[in-house]
Amino acid sequence: MAYNLLTEKVVPIEAKEGTLWVTLPGAFAMMSSGAADGFAMVRPHQRHGLHMFAVQVAAMASEELSPSEIFSDNEDVWKQRLLKLAPEGWELVQDDCGKPGFLQPPMDAVSFKKAIEKKGNHVLTADDMTVLVRSRNHVVKFSRMTESLPWHWVCSLVEIQTLSGFEGRGLYGTARMYGGFGSRFMVGTYDDLCPSAMWKRDVRRALALLKGVERDYPFYGEAGTKHGLLWILPWDGESRLELGQLHPLFIDVSRRIRLFSTSDGNIASTYIISSCPRINSGEQNGRLGDPWAPINVKNNSSLGAKTIDVKLLRNLIIADGQGDYQQAPLQTIDSKDNGDLYFHLAAVIGGQGKTEGFHEKTIHIPGAIRDMAFGGGLGSKRLGDCANAMLNDADKAWSCLRKAVFAATQASRDEIDWKHPQSEAAAGKARGLFKEEYEDNYFPYLWSAMSDEGGDDWISFLRAACDRVLESILVGYGPKTQFVYKARAKATGMLSGSWNKEFKTEERNERHN
């Protein structure tokens, strides 16, 4: 029961005829030819990790080829490339602990014996393995799987080895994130959202970026053997790899994990702690040339945001130099781009001993806006100035709405208490509803504002959104009693009065000039 990814059909892919089971080389061949859309049976929070993994493996296996030779539709060609990249380490269950298993570094017999004997470290389903030491269900409910297929173990191994943060003593996270409680982000720009098209675009562009990465990160250019698949190397839990020993597209292994066969013929996993992280990344703060990682120039680190909102997305998308971020290498415009693009961000947001949930954002960028967003210069500055003005408008609109909510919840009072608990609770609900409305519409209105016609009126949209949110708060009071009528009158009066003070007619004009 080895489940060798190069020779056994354990990988599901989405094809025109439905879900097919193929080898990993077979998947790459079908994705190269367009015969498959991408991998199937992948949980949403694991998709971006699997995408990045597949890109890194395929790119390193094709590094010596010309661009026209990369995407072969021949399964055996891909198999030979992957064998050249690593002649072993493709078995999901490798009975010899001294040999590498897929994403499982070799382990000495004594350590493996300890791991096997420590029953508390055993994980019997693949979804449980992604929460080795978490005590609560943060991202998805675990232990849902009554039976884990080999493919489920593949996805979970990719997740925990390449996306995990620090989870307690001896359980360190990937070097490709900012701090132990950070996140590894996937941020890129695409002309086609079909997973196989995204894979091909990123493989081609990641290879084209390699020389620039070695220039910007000199340790990759140091002499010596460069390791890409770190699970091939033995790890005693005490030794660390130096950055100069790594390939720029290296695939990390955060944990000393081994899969094994149980007495009833199923797969289970176990682990043993390490005394240090696998990679000595020093003071890099996650800045390792990851092609999907924006750089926080203020902190000199990879992106480590805990909140994904339109202000962050605006700073990541628009290359006007006004934000704290340098765009991810795979965000740049491709020479072949001549139409609409899609900005895509995905991450499981990390936290101390927990996660803050899976976040995924895809934003359509019209072709007319493309060069303004990514090209820099005066066009990007003009777009950035308009984006900032619209964010400022939203902040002012929320200030007006908050005052109206306080007025509604304190209709019987002569003077408003701006620290009243009931009002604060209602304002919190209103803030969530308002934020959802304006964030869903922010970018379409921004693109519209930059059009030759000037676009729709953002301020009018904000006012309508405030009216809708305020109405939902008032409806929550139940039957239209005298108090509700009074609350409605005070709230709408407060909203209108505040609005007239915050917004003046002349401020609405020439936003797009």
Convert the pLDDT of each residue in 400-458 to its tens digit.
999 999 999 888 888 999 999 999 999 999 999 999 999 999 999 999 999 765 556 99
Mean predicted lDDT score pLDDT of the chain = 89
Both tokens of residue 306? 């805990």
What is the three-class DSSP state of 281?
A: coil
Question: pLDDT digits over 250-274, tens only?
Answer: 999 999 999 999 888 889 998 888 9
Q: Are 512 and 454 in contact (CB under 8 A)?
A: yes
Question: pLDDT digits over 287-302, tens only?
Answer: 999 999 999 998 889 9
Q: What is the spatial distance between Cα 4 and Cα 6, in angstroms, rounded to a whole number?
A: 5
- Give yes or no for residue 479 having a pLDDT over 80: no
Q: Which helix (DSSP H) or strand (DSSP E) does residue 12 occupy?
A: strand 11-15
Which pLDDT score, from 0 to 100, does residue 134 have? 43
Which pLDDT score, from 0 to 100, does residue 139 have? 43
User: Which stretch of 130-139, 277-286, 316-325 has the lowest confidence by average pLDDT?
Assistant: 130-139
**Domains of the chain, earliest start first:** 11-292 (no CATH), 379-508 (1.10.132)
Which pLDDT score, from 0 to 100, does residue 121 have? 78
% of the chain residues with pLDDT over 90: 69
- Give yes or no for residue 135 having a pLDDT over 80: no
Helices (H), 262-410: 310-317, 367-374, 377-409
Greater pLDDT, 507 or 393: 393
Length of the chain: 513
- Mean pLDDT, range 213-223, rounded to an integer: 94
Q: What is the spatial distance between Cα 313 and Cα 255, in angstroms, rounded to a whole number?
A: 32
Q: Look at the block and give the residue holding tokens 């003071």.
A: 283
- Assign 352 a pLDDT band (cuts: 50, 70, 90): low
Q: What is the spatial distance between Cα 179 and Cα 285, in angstroms, rounded to a whole number?
A: 6
Query: 187 to each of 250, 288, 361, 363, 475, how far by Cα in Å?
Result: 18, 15, 10, 12, 40
Q: What is the spatial distance between Cα 393 and Cα 409, in angstroms, rounded to a whole number?
A: 25
Q: Looking at residue 441, what DSSP letter applies? A: H
